[in-house]
Amino acid sequence: MKPVEIDGSYGEGGGQILRTAVALSALTGKPVRVYNIRAKRPNPGLQAQHLTGVKAVAMISKARVDGLRIRSTEITMYPQRITGGNFSFDVGTAGSISLVLQSVLPALAFAAAPSSLKITGGTDVAWSPPIDYMRNVFFKLLAKMGYHVDCEVKRRGHYPKGGGQVVVYTHPVEKLSPITLMDLGEVQRIQGVSHCVRLPRHVAERQASTARRVLKAEGYRDVEIAVESYPPGRDPHLGPGSGIVLWAETSTGTVIGADALGERGKPAEKVGEEAAAKLLEELRLGAAVDKHASDMLIPYMAVADGSSSIKTSELTMHTATAIHIVESFLPVKFEVEGKLGSPAVIRVNGIGMRNPSLAQT
């Protein structure tokens, strides 16, 4: 079979193109050639975390990959079958665990058996969804499609040392149900997790109290933010680091998330205020899917059994890129109402992919 050709310089020309392409290759069983990898980045080609991500997808799909080396600007992957099982991956330093999950989870939905993934790397790092966002927002949206993913955070990892560790459990489906998330509805409650490692507990407490105060000032009374910290001498993290993730559950069954990371010289109050302001802006726009979840949902919508529709708070370049790559692999055509940088409605008729290992006779 001739590989699907994907130009890695499309759109922003970053690592997301590679992640989505190898995810779709494993999911569909179609080989893929990705060239011009990260062509628009100052350090083009595969870096360590991209290398690990591709290796992870190759492992779960028993794929052969040509060109898989540091700084390579072209790879070709030949997947075989998605087996499921127990896997262990080390992203290296603070490379994002969440970005590895973006690559492997679509294929594991159609694996022959449940899987467990032990992944070491960064749980709370810049330019990627924090692990608390994945498990409290995105995984809940996947569950609405019938795909259940569980996650245990064993240890957090921050930039630059990393060292975080999570264990993720996936439960394959016979098919994915379509999803309709158009109306935000009324906010029923807001929850969150504020954490700090290798730092005094008051850092996490100040993040939480500021976020709570900002949200309550806007009329949201039911706000519960858990505080996570570790006593000196019993803190297993490499650290230091801190962050906060907030999510709102609404009457229509959707979940909207926002987050902020601590950094040297950034007051804890600023971190909490930033996360709360992001969540308030998402809620003000009135969409049922936040801008971070929309691009991750695209592959699942395309293979679901029926018509899916979502309204996102912002059509990002990441989402537009995901649509482009999915359409390169599958006989689907997304309908998008809205412009880049603005709220948008995204619709698609899924192909109704079936898991042959779980298909009912």
CB atoms within 10 A of CB 72: 17
Contacts of 311 (CB under 8 A, 6+ apart): 181, 182, 183, 287, 288, 289, 343, 344, 345, 346
Give yes or no: 195 in active site: no
- Beta-carbon contacts of 277 under 8 Å, excluding residues fewer than 6 positions away, are 214
Helices (H), the chain: 15-28, 48-60, 97-108, 131-133, 139-143, 201-217, 268-285, 291-303, 317-329
Q: What are phi and psi of 10, to 5 degrees?
A: -65, 145
Using CA atoms, how far apart are residues 127 and 46, in angstroms rounded to an integer? 17
Return the residue matching tokens 């779709």: 24
Which one of 50, 158, 237, 318 is the catalytic residue?
A: 318
| d(C-alpha 70, C-alpha 63), whole Å | 18
Tell me which amino acid residue 337 is: E
SS3 323: helix
Packing angle between helix 15-28 and helix 317-329, nearest 10 degrees? Answer: 30
Q: Work out whether strand 223-228 and strand 187-197 pair parallel, antiparallel, or are unpaired.
A: parallel
Kind and range of the H or E run holding 177: none
* Angle formed at CA 137 by CA 269 and CA 134, multiple of 5 degrees: 85
β-pair type (255-261, 241-250): antiparallel
Task: Give the phi and the psi of residue 281 in degrees, each rounded to 5.
Answer: -65, -40
User: Does the bond joining 160 to the residue before it have cis omega, within 30 degrees of 0?
Assistant: yes
Angle value at C-alpha 131, between 29 and 6, nearest 5 degrees: 30
Which of the residues are catalytic? 318
